[in-house]
Amino acid sequence: MPSSLSIVCQEPRPEPEPSEGDGERFCGSCAFSNACLATGYGKRELSALHCLVEHIQPRGDGEYVFRRGEPFRAIYAVRSGCVKTSLFGRDGREQVLGFYLPGEVIGLNGIYPESYPCDAIALESSAFCRFSFPAVSQLASELPTVQHHLFSLLSRELGMASLLAGDHTADERVAAFLLDLGARQAKRGLSDTVFRFPMSRSDMANYLRLASETVSRVLSRFREKHWVEITGRRVTLRAPDALRDVAGPLLPTAAQR
């Protein structure tokens, strides 16, 4: 995870508008852009992947991308906005499973048992690309670049669960969550230390398996130590190295610098 100096007065760079792409280039926020860059934009062997992309109707705040139990036929790449995945128990209580930003893919956990095991809900106005999974899977069997990228996406799905597993403290969980958000912003060419929370505080706490009051106390403690600055949903990580020391084993090895 990139390490940055304290940034206090800098405003977050504006969210880049997702480009539509064309016959030679994928959208600027495409979840397969890494695969494309690995071989170069406009390569003939990736034109088949471009043909699989379908831009679907944007979803507004609170609208579903897919619902639990629906047949699994496609994966969705977030082009703009933010999505959460969640489950509702028999008692009606929600369990937030994850948050997805532009350039990330939702729906991979539906591969088995061939139906979506959770709901995917837009947290703000969000745009998507839809990839037919049978077609992508067939293409991946023919193109090692696409296959490797699919494996990488699946690996990230598994890695995200490590934030919630084990006997970790509230401070460790919150610190790792902040750094992870920053790292994901950096992959989009944005600041890894100045960004906004696209999710509510209650959704964040739910995801981290903590009470909202606990998350508020932890963030207040981080503010008192001048590690973070929070105004509304705007966040500035003033001491990312200190947060890394707290997050410790919850971070990938490369991020523990």
- The number of CA neighbours under 13 Å toward the Cβ of 90 is 0
CA distances from 203 to 176, 195, 207, 251 (A): 16, 17, 6, 21
**What pLDDT does residue 47 have?**
63
Residue 227 near residue 238, CB atoms below 8 Å: yes
Lookup: tokens for 48: 């088949």
Euclidean distance between CA atoms 52 and 136, whole angstroms: 7
**What pLDDT does residue 29 have?**
54
Task: Spell 87-111 as b/e; 16+ CB within 10 A means b.
Answer: eeeeeeeeebbbbbbbbbbbbbbbe
Q: What is the mean pLDDT of residues 235-255?
A: 85
23 pLDDT more than 60: no
* Amino acid, single-letter form, for residue 120: A
253 pLDDT more than 60: no
Q: Taking the complete model, does pTM exceed 0.75, yes or no?
A: yes
**Domains in the chain with CATH codes:** 33-162 (2.60.120.10), 168-255 (1.10.10.10)
Q: What angle do CA 136, 141, 146 make, to 5 degrees?
A: 60
219 pLDDT more than 60: yes
**What pLDDT does residue 48 have?**
63
**What pLDDT does residue 191 have?**
96
Nearest alpha carbon to residue 3 among 248, 218, 186, 163: 186
Q: Which of 8-17, 86-95, 124-133, 147-156 has the lowest mean pLDDT?
A: 8-17
Residue 154 near residue 86, CB atoms below 8 Å: no
Top pLDDT among 1 and 228 is at: 228
Euclidean distance between CA atoms 200 and 221, whole angstroms: 19
166 pLDDT more than 70: yes
Task: Choose the most confident range, by mean pLDDT, from 41-45, 50-54, 216-220, 248-252.
Answer: 216-220
Q: What is the percent of the chain with per-residue pLDDT over 70, rounded to a whole number?
A: 76
Q: Which of 25-39, 85-99, 102-116, 242-256 has the lowest mean pLDDT?
A: 25-39
pLDDT in tens, 79-122: 899 999 999 999 999 999 999 998 888 999 898 889 999 999 99
Residue 219 near residue 35, CB atoms below 8 Å: no
Task: Please name the residues in contact with 247: beta carbons below 8 A apart, sequence gap of 6 or more.
Answer: 172, 175, 176, 179
Nearest alpha carbon to residue 234 among 202, 184, 204, 194: 194
**What pLDDT does residue 255 have?**
47
Q: Which of 96-110, 156-170, 197-211 has the lowest mean pLDDT?
A: 156-170
* Amino acid, single-letter form, for residue 231: T
